[in-house]
Structure 1
Amino acid sequence: MEKQTLEQISNNRLRLKTSVNAVRWLTFQAYAFRGHDECPESRNRGNFIEMVKILATYNDDVAKLVLENAPKNAKYTSPQIQKEILHVLAGKVRSKIREDIGDAKFCILVDEARDESKREQMALVLRFVDRDDFLQKRFFDIVQVKDTTSLTLKNALSTVLSHYNLSVQDLRGQGYNGTSNMRGAWNGLQALFLNDCPYAYYVHCLAHRLQLALVASSREVIPVHQFFSKLNFIINIIGASCKRNDELQFTQAAEIAHLIALDEIETSRGANQIGSLQRPGDTRWSSHFDSVCSLIRLFGLTCSVLRSTIKDESTCFQRGDADSAFDIITSFEFMFILHLVKDIMGASNILCEALQQKSQDILNAMHLVLTTKNIILKLREDEWNNLLGVVKSFCERHNIDVPDMSAPYTKGKGRPRHPQENILLEHHYRIDIFNGTIDSQLQELNNRFSEKVVELIVLSSALDPRDGYKLFKIDDICKLANNCYP
């Protein structure tokens, strides 16, 4: 720098400013920087180089000094320079977040995952109240870890916090998923932080907790577990083929047009939309509810497409898969579980959607947990006959055989499963499947939404400043102080 002229320094700053602006824009838009081929002859040299070229079209100096006449040792466009600029920007963002926290207490939200290069990484989010008394949640850092043991994660988090002078003694909350290395009561990550700070209470992500409760309940009852595997199989048969998916939608459009012509359905904006079978997702339990509802709504059309596939497809594999799917979908047990899980998930769907909202009244969410438990319990006690009637009516409309509930239960086509116990079909469907599914559901909800966590959250709601501290109650504040922060 001492040997450079003022003109050279100005040119260097222009080149560096151009690269900084390109990095900033790509970062805020979450775009990739690099291209597959960045040589000068390439037609697409990657987002970073192409962004610099766009900036050059608006500034002749950039075109002249950055793209054409830049010295080879000061172009400021290499991958190394891109990463350095990005790290500088990230450091400034973290410093600003640290400044906003000040001396306040804070909470940490942590999750770990494996990236595309198979490296374990841990994401850290800080939650705090800033100097203007606004609740803030800021993504803070991604840390690469050699493994996901609780001690490794704890050491990595402590290193990041200490680097920015954030004391573990100011930690007032931990939010993780439900894996054993995170929530373990003795050696989990939350337990290790509680040893250092007894007020760093662990709260399991409530939406994830509901997801685990519902998934666990479906896995406890074998026929229900098998049902979801069969549901995925049927949806894959229809959705994996563009031809079958188009046939489903074309048939649906024709049926809607026919019903409108007969004035059997109403028409309005947004009504009677043509849909398809919804695929359930692993992390969104509401997607399972949508998947079940879509199959019930399109059941007749789905059967029609499967029959057409069995008759017209050219390969034996496609005909065989379609025939297996048709046998599954037209069985009474599949129909019974389809309507059962629809009722159970319908009761919990409101709670699931409420827990996934960005702005959540946590006190209302806790009331929804109790309401959901009561609705599911009422379903167990009072709705057996109604459910059975709905399933029988549905089967009769679609020409599905309804078995005699007083007949002995046999597994498959063999002999009775427990001939010495004389188990009837009604016992199998009502006790083994209906009651078993609901009981496992209630047990998981009671276990995962524990009274201690619910009490901490409900009592903390007394500190909610909205509506002039409308929820403020002296008794709850005293109980919170005595029970949780002695």
Structure 2
Amino acid sequence: MDKAYCFPCFLFDRYPSHHPAFTEHGFQGWKNIMSKQSGILKHMGGINSPQNTAMHKWETLRNPTKHIERVISTHSSQEAANHRLRLIATIECVRLLAKQGCAFRGNDKSADSTNRGNFDAILSSFGRMNLEVQRVFDNALGNAKYTSPLIQKQIANILGNKVREKIRDEVGSAKFCILVDEVVDASSKEQMAIILRFVNCHGFIRERFFKILSVADTCSQTLYSEISKVLTHNDLQIENMGGQGYDGASNMRDEFNGLQALFREKCLYAYYVHCFAHRLQLALNAAAKGVDDIYTFFDTLSFVVNFVDSSAKRHSALKATREEEIAELVAAGKLQIGTGANQACTLQRAGATRWGSHFRSITSLINLFGATRTTLAELAANGPKKIQAEAKNVGKAMKHFNFVFCLLLMQFVMKITDFPCQSLQKKSHRYFECSKLPKISKKKTSRVEREWLGCFDYKGCIILL
């Protein structure tokens, strides 16, 4: 072609080219070959010219010792050990926080923050215990510390998958049941928890928390789709499902479009069971609300507990009064002493969905009745002006005979209902054992009724008052 080309520029020059005469068209100006205006000298340029940059890349390409695979392979074993130690420390931090169910990050992640969160605190603790860990993190590059939130989430996800693999191996080819419930978390996202219940190879009933995932809504089709994805991904066949356990919401139990009906289309024997403990809670709550005096009693109980326990100052005053009361009773010989005895407990609030919490609330108020009454009287006489009237009204409500009568009556009754409540929530209970609970409860009811009629003649109310 009787033309000159620059091979390094042909390989590495950008597009469009700085000097197309030497990369695309070819150079033919032989008369001006050494000209600084249009020849080779102009093409070469200065030290930072495109031609010199291309030459440097060409020399690097021709030198095998500078290839990326050679550079990576020449990393020392010490550097690899440092990376491994950093990663191990991060994995152990994530494992600990995940197992304990603790938050990873704090509110302030800045360099001058005094509390950057649990993850950084544990990592610093590892560094104080082992100076080698501290050294490798202090000398780590910014992109090789393995402590970013993305790395933490990836490790947590890997650990979760490992746990699910163990559970899947434990299930094996056996039939299994699913237990599903939803709840709205602190960020107002709907979260669905999936639990597997099965009989292992040794013949023992096992319940394993399998996965929690966010769902867009709680309609039956959405829940069915998400649960099916989880089961399929973990090689759990819907045809091996032997039961379904949900609450009694219509999107769960509906016979035609409910979640249980969608699974029954795939597996006819996946019978739906409304959670026994939840059914008992609903029955007891409905029965209690059906009696006016009992309904009023629980409202008053919640009013008393919330007033005394909602303020730190009132809580402290109640605790101090109870400690003085315990000291006086022990000095008078009315209380026995021993390890763990006579602890200064506090009032317990009743939960909206747990009937057993009502029993704990009633028992705590009976134990602290005298201390609570003394605290309210002190607040009504010497407390802040804005709460004196309210403290007086709470004290009057506590000393009303109907309230005290129902307080003692419900303690007797709930001693009976607390037993099936706790029993139905056990992981290893069998259906045959659960079917005996009504008979046991009836026997206890008859015995408690005789005790109530035989020994309760208003003296308890008078003593409490």
Report what 2:102 is aligned to. 31
1:47 aligns with 2:118: yes
SS in 1 for 2:345: coil
1:338 CA drift (Å): 2.1
Report what 2:92 is aligned to. 21
CA contact (8 A) 2:405 2:461 kept: no
One-letter code aligned to 2:414: M
Aligned match of 2:245 in 151, 170, 175? 175
Could you say if the C-alpha distance between residues 37 and 363 of structure 1 is closer, same or farther in structure 2, counting changes exceeding 3 Å?
Answer: same
Query: Matched residues in 1 for 2:323 and 2:389: separation?
Result: 27
Q: Which has the higher contact order (CA 8 A, sep 6+)?
A: 1
Report what 1:4 is aligned to. 72
What does residue range 109-188 of structure 1 map to in structure 2 within 5 Å?
A: 109-188=179-258
One-letter code aligned to 1:92: K
1:126 CA drift (Å): 1.7
Report what 1:104 is aligned to. 174
Could you say if the C-alpha distance between residues 240 and 169 of structure 1 is closer, same or farther in structure 2, counting changes exceeding 3 Å?
Answer: same
CA contact (8 A) 2:176 2:243 kept: yes
Query: Matched residues in 1 for 2:187 and 2:331: separation?
Result: 56
SS in 1 for 2:197: strand
CA offsets per residue over residues 42-94 of structure 1, 9 Å max, x none? 44433333444444456666544443242x44332221122122222222332
1:122 CA drift (Å): 0.7
Query: Matched residues in 2 for 1:117 and 1:286: separation?
Result: 28
Across the aligned residues of Structure 1 and Structure 2, the Cα RMSD in angstroms comes to: 3.2
SS in 1 for 2:271: coil
Aligned match of 2:459 in 393, 401, 404? 393
Could you say if the C-alpha distance between residues 245 and 194 of structure 1 is closer, same or farther in structure 2, counting changes exceeding 3 Å?
Answer: same
One-letter code aligned to 2:357: S
Which moves more between the two structures, 150-159 or 124-133?
124-133
One-letter code aligned to 1:320: A
Report what 1:67 is aligned to. 138
Report what 1:235 is aligned to. 305
Which moves more between the two structures, 329-338 or 164-173?
329-338
SS in 1 for 2:273: coil
Question: TM-score, with normalisation over the residues of structure 1?
Answer: 0.71
Report what 1:339 is aligned to. 408
CA contact (8 A) 2:207 2:427 kept: no
Query: Matched residues in 2 for 1:126 and 1:75: separation?
Result: 37
CA offsets per residue over residues 177-229 of structure 1, 9 Å max, x none? 33332233443322322232121122333333322222221222233222211
CA offsets per residue over residues 316-366 of structure 1, 9 Å max, x none? x31111122122222232233223322221221222233344544653433
Report what 2:263 is aligned to. 193
Greater Rg over alpha carbons, structure:
2
Could you say if the C-alpha distance between residues 141 and 263 of structure 1 is closer, same or farther in structure 2, counting changes exceeding 3 Å?
Answer: closer
Could you say if the C-alpha distance between residues 327 and 46 of structure 1 is closer, same or farther in structure 2, counting changes exceeding 3 Å?
Answer: closer
Query: Matched residues in 1 for 2:334 and 2:104: separation?
Result: 55
Residue ranges of structure 2 left out of the alignment (5+ in a row)? 1-67
Report what 1:208 is aligned to. 278
Question: TM-score, with normalisation over the residues of structure 2?
Answer: 0.74
One-letter code aligned to 2:283: A
CA contact (8 A) 1:161 1:167 kept: yes
CA offsets per residue over residues 140-196 of structure 1, 9 Å max, x none? 211211011122111110111112221111001222233332233443322322232
CA contact (8 A) 1:53 1:67 kept: no
